[in-house]
Amino acid sequence: MRFSSLSAWLSWQEGLHPSTIELGLDRVQKVFQRLHPSLPPIPIISVAGTNGKGSSVALLEAIYQNAGYKTGCYTSPHLLRYNERIHLNAEEVSDQQICDAFERVDQARCQESEISLTYFEFGTLAALDIFCRAKPEVIILEVGLGGRLDAVNIVDADVALITSIGIDHTAWLGNDRETIAREKAGIMRKDHPVVFSSPDMPKSIEQAANEVGAVLYQRGSDFDWKNGVGYAAWDWKSNKQQRTALPTPSLRGKHQLDNAAGVLMVIECLADKLPVNQKQIKAALLSASVPGRFQCLAGDPMHILDVAHNEGSMACLAELLNSQVCGGNNVAVLGMLEDKDHAAALAVMLPEITHWYVADLDVPRGVKAEILADVLKKLDSNTVVDCFSDVKHAIEAADAGAGSGDRVIIFGSFYTVEFAMQSGI
């Protein structure tokens, strides 16, 4: 074994490839072919999109778990532990399982001619290797970035799910929704279902489905949800069946009903292979959870952790804040990465926040607090902003300045939430 600990493996991988991100499938496909020349006949669901991927994956995992199926689930990024990325039967796999998989990936990439892999590619191959060996009854894969050239796309999905499309990762995916959606559509396969769960579908999704020959299920025409009658929370209907009196998902926000509606369409597409009943769906809707998605930590002040990091996700966060009674003010602890439209994202949050505590993110692509403060001041010259060298000190200042009933909203990046959790709030 090259390394004896997971942390050593991960540290080595960070410097293995000359760039952090390199879109393309050739290198990863070659290594995977060396690892597993053929895949076990396991149904695979791939989930792409700008916002809503993690929640949709969590709902799918919860539904199939409640239905008694063995599940394999791969997501990214993680918050506190790398093991969060790889689940077997809704449990994080062990350090040893990951290290063993890393060793097999390393051996495969060094066969014949050595192939360089990025950190994400290494992890994706390790997850697929673990799943191929464990042979769960369904595999759920979250696409890391884009779709067409993302490492997850080396395997063919039996069903593809595409969530909402927004402007993000423009350096790699394009500057407009149609171009970005075209990249996300790369997970489609001929004659296989693809579900689009958001009500506002870019035209390029339909165009790509027609070109590939995928079977498109569009929210609003092939399936939809509506508010339930009386005390029933919501109803779902497709062209084949309906599910009524479904409970509100434990995941907070009206947008989670869009995610859940798309997930139920995926469930229907796989019903012949993986049947699920109404009772199992209801239980899963009530139990599914994802850390860092409007995660409320009781106290005075209350802390709310949210990985919202672009305009779409911040609009959802603003809506959630508006929908709940607050006895005081909302103050923000913010840290962001550079590959975002900061002005567009922060503009939707500006009316909700009375005081901003902005932190440097000391990570690759992290933005300095002063830059974000300038953006906020340009949006509104009266904005109250303080800058800090890290998230921990920003939180301490926000807590010290908060009054009774105030809420401290910690958001802007997965890293911001990770550092907040590490600070022990």
Q: Express each pLDDT in 120-157 by its tens digit.
A: 999 999 999 999 999 999 999 999 877 788 899 999 99
Q: Is 17 helix (H, G, I), strand (E, B) or coil?
A: coil
Asked whether the CA dihedral 88, 91, 96, 98 is positive or negative, the reply is positive
- pLDDT surpasses 80 at 113: yes
CA pair distance 244, 241, nearest whole angstrom = 10
Domains of the chain, earliest start first: 6-287 (3.40.1190.10), 295-422 (3.90.190.20)
pTM of the model: 0.93
CA atoms within 13 A on the CB side of 180: 22
Cα angle for residues 333, 338, 339 (degrees, 5° grid) = 120
Q: Which residues share a beta bridge with 140? A: 45, 73
Q: Which two tokens mark 144?
A: 């890391």
Stretch (H or E) spanning 419: helix 414-422
Q: What is the pLDDT of residue 90?
A: 97
> CA-to-CA distance for 7 and 12, rounded, in angstroms?
9
Q: Is the pLDDT of residue 172 over 60?
A: no
- Any idea which of 133-142, 172-181, 238-247 has the lowest mean pLDDT? 172-181
Instruction: Answer yes or no: is pLDDT of 240 > 70.
Output: yes
Burial 378-401 (b: 16+ CB within 10 A, else e): eeeeebebbbbeebbbbbebbbee
Q: Under the phi-then-psi rule, with left for phi > 0, alpha for psi from -120 to 50, and beta for the rest, what region is 35? A: alpha
Which of 2-16, 55-69, 143-157 is the most confident on average?
Answer: 55-69
The whole-number average pLDDT for the span 197-207 is 93
Res 170: pLDDT:
54
